[in-house]
Amino acid sequence: MKSIEFKNVSKRYEDVSVIEDLNMTIEQGEFVVLVGPSGCGKSTTLRMIAGLESITDGDLMIGDVRANDLAPKDRDLAMVFQSYALYPHMTVRENIGFGLKIRKMPQAEIDKKVEEVAEPLGLSQLLERKPKALSGGQRQRVALGRAIVRNPSVFLFDEPLSNLDAELRVQMRAEISKLHRQLKTTSIYVTHDQIEAMTMGDKIAVLNKGHIMQFGSPMELYNFPKNTFVAGFIGTPPMNLMKVKVSDHGKTLTHASFQIKTPSRWREATEKFDGGEVILGIRPEKIGLLHEHDDWDVPAHIFGKLEMVETLGHEAIVHLICDGNKPGSGDKILAKIKPKNSPTMGLLGEHYEVTFDTRAIHLFDPNTEHRLPESRFDSQTSQEQESPTAKQNYVLSLESQGN
């Protein structure tokens, strides 16, 4: 097990910069997921660790050693590729044992090790088969076996599950996590799938255009996204982001379809934007129907035109288009509601009303797109001060409309 540290690492191809000034420390035994959209530099970062890409600038430390100029074979790493990259002309046994054979290990010992690794991966019966006679999941297990058998200090995974079908992906995800718990080997895992990132990583690094947007635990990224990119990237469906007008010395936030009191923990920050705009973020799971959420103390409602309903079985995702002629109309808002309350298709195009929890909003600077600073107020107290009877009023108004 070794730690990995990036110190101001950059990677450029002639004039094109792929990674810029990367700083990140991956502790011993940690499972770190690099996640981001296509072309964000996550695979390049992994390949720099592997030694398959040179480093233009900065230092890469593997353990205590500066690894910039170390050959891949001297870095004591194993890598699992997206395309499996098995040797098609070799049997499963030869594939798994190839690395050991290169290291001139006696054949009897290689056989023993290969069988030890094949057993838990369920490959014992397939050792004499060639890769073409295996299913996708089995091939990926061979690729895993090939990495494990060498007992490396660090595992590198380059989108290993992307080629598998959904069911197999869930299964392999669990297997890789189990493997990490057993071996406790430092692992770096590249994916563009944020569900994989959330479920597998001890820590997640979100990358975009060669920069780290945020590096932290999955819940840290989910609850406190540092910028709009992370806010939009982590969570399915993504966080709703919309521009709102700030007024009343930062105490009021106005959008085409709602107006709310700024929660007190944000007020210090919003005051600076008085008369201007900030970006408000709210997760779809924090928007819904009021009677489904008794714990939302300070609800506010949003009106919009019902554009689409996606029923997923355990939940329904409602797409609303905000209307009106104020700024912010035309914004798309996604809400999660219980499927039994899902609107019928006949209501598409009609006006629809949802509610959101004002405590759960996130605010971002519209220029830098960075999260605004929050003061450490007790949010419970502050909300009681703001609107103690808001919910009751709202329920009453609904009842009076006959809903």
Partner 1 sequence: MRLPKHFGLHVGLTSFCLLTIYPILWVFSIAFSGEQNISFANIPADPTAWDRLRAILPWPEQISIQNFVDLFTQQPFFDWLLNSVIVAAMTTILGVFLACTSAYAFSRFRFPGRRTGMMMFLVSQMFPGTLMLIPLYIIVTKWLGLGNSYFGLILVYATTAIPFCVWMMKGYFDTIPKEIEESAIMDGASSATIFWKIVLPLARPALAITALFSFMTSWNEFILASLFMEDEAMYTAPVGLKFFVGGFSSQWGYFAAGAIIVSLPVVLLFLYLQKYLISGLTAGSVKG
**Interacting residues with partner 1 between 92 and 111 (CB under 8 A):** 98-99, 102-103
Q: Is 396 in the site for partner 1 (CB under 8 A)?
A: no
**From edge to edge, which strands make up the β-sheet containing 299-311?**
287-288, 351-357, 299-311, 316-321, 332-337
**Of 44-52, 272-280, 286-294, 322-330, which segment contacts partner 1 by CB under 8 A?**
44-52
Q: Is 167 in the site for partner 1 (CB under 8 A)?
A: no
CB atoms within 10 A of CB 168: 16
DSSP state of 144: H
Nearer to partner 1 among residue 145 and residue 235 (C-beta): 145
CB atoms within 10 A of CB 61: 16
**Of 72-80, 244-252, 257-265, 288-296, which segment contacts partner 1 by CB under 8 A?**
72-80
Q: Is 87 in the site for partner 1 (CB under 8 A)?
A: yes
Nearer to partner 1 among residue 88 and residue 324 (C-beta): 88
Q: Which two tokens stand for residue 139?
A: 């091939």
Q: Is 13 in the site for partner 1 (CB under 8 A)?
A: no
What gap in Å lies between CA 33 and CA 356, rounded to an integer? 31
CB atoms within 10 A of CB 102: 10
Q: Is 139 in the site for partner 1 (CB under 8 A)?
A: yes
Of 54, 83, 182, 311, the one binding partner 1 (CB under 8 A) is 83
Cβ atoms of 110 and 69 within 8 Å: the answer is no
Quote the least distance from Cβ 73 to partner 1, whole Å. Answer: 4
What is the three-class DSSP state of 229? helix
Q: Is 85 in the site for partner 1 (CB under 8 A)?
A: yes
Q: Which two tokens stand for residue 289?
A: 């129907």
Quote the least distance from Cβ 204 to partner 1, whole Å. Answer: 24
Q: Which two tokens stand for residue 335?
A: 């809400």
Host H or E run for residue 99: helix 92-102
CB atoms within 10 A of CB 86: 22
Q: Is 52 in the site for partner 1 (CB under 8 A)?
A: yes
Quote the least distance from Cβ 197 to partner 1, whole Å. Answer: 22
- Footprint on this chain of partner 1 (rule: CB under 8 A): 50-52, 72-73, 77-79, 81-89, 98-99, 102-103, 130-134, 136, 139, 146, 150, 163
